[in-house]
Amino acid sequence: MIITVAASKGGVGKSTTALHLANYLQTKADTLLIDGDVNRCVLEWGKRGSLPFKVADEVEGVELAKIYEHIVIDTPTHPDENDLKVMVRGCDLLVIPMTPDAMAIAATFNFINVLNKFRFKVNYRILLTMIPPRPNRVGDDARKTLLSAGLPVFKTGIRRLSVFQNAALAGVPVNMLKESYAQIAWRCYVELGKEILQ
Ligand SMILES: Nc1ncnc2c1ncn2[C@@H]1O[C@H](COP(=O)(O)OP(=O)(O)O)[C@@H](O)[C@H]1O
Ligand SMILES: [Mg+2]
């Protein structure tokens, strides 16, 4: 399966999602994460610590792709239309991370309008990320807005937890940290992985 993670906005959890999804898929079959971001975010992450799956840049990724069962592609922020076309053509699923705020919702609508202009059909689903804890309901509100616009949204949402930032600093996926919220954070991506593979 080839999964691309893309959005028009930066800082919405694209790299975090690509990394944890690859980490989950690796528990099922050999998985390659292609770091398509010029900032080499995940490659850098992996250098700080250790990642239990293969990470490559897009050049090396093309050569390696045949060997792996699952491929997750992390992408740069603000891709232009042509770059986006190249990145999503041929993927089985496009995951679009989105934070639950008005600016991000507007950006996501624009992003989907661009996808709809392509001559091929893109199988995409929106992933709500960094959802603040209850009693805050912005996560539910954002979901309602997307669903009422007829857009596909993952049932699973990713909670806003600082342990994700600690994991990035340590260069490991959250499930390798010993902190109290690490396993709760990891469960979010396990649920997402299950939803994708089901
Ligand atoms: N669910 C989350 N809760 C809290 N912080 C998060 C979460 N997901 C990502 N982050 C943090 O937010 C920042 C941006 O995330 P990142 O995955 O790099 O976004 P992008 O790739 O879209 O720019 C990073 O510091 C990351 O550690
Ligand atoms: Mg990124």
Q: Domain 2-197: give its CATH superfamily.
A: P-loop containing nucleotide triphosphate hydrolases (3.40.50.300)
Q: Which residues surround ligand 2, an ion (CB under 5 A)?
A: 14-15, 41
Q: Is 75 in the pocket of ligand 1 (CB under 6 A)?
A: no
Atom of ligand 1 nearest to the CA of 19: 17
pLDDT in tens, 160-194: 999 999 999 999 999 999 998 999 999 999 999 99
Distance 187 CA to ligand 1 centre (A): 16
Residue of 17, 72, 78, 164 best suited for mutating to test ligand 1, as the one with most atoms within 8 Å of CB: 164
The C-alpha atoms of residue 153 and residue 162 are separated, in whole angstroms, by 24
Cα–Cα distance list, 144 to 42, 67, 138, 159, 168 (Å): 32, 40, 10, 17, 31
Distance 15 CA to ligand 2 centre (A): 4
Nearest ligand, CA 19: 1
Q: What is the dihedral of CA 128, 62, 198, 23, to 10 degrees?
A: -60
Atom of ligand 1 nearest to the CA of 7: 22
pTM over 0.95? The answer is yes
Q: Where are the domains of the chain?
A: 2-197
Cα–Cα distance list, 140 to 56, 132, 160, 175 (Å): 36, 10, 14, 26
Distance 36 CA to ligand 1 centre (A): 17
Q: Is 99 in the pocket of ligand 1 (CB under 6 A)?
A: no
pLDDT in tens, 23-57: 999 999 999 999 988 777 788 888 888 899 999 99
pLDDT band at 128 (very low <50, low <70, confident <90, very high): very high
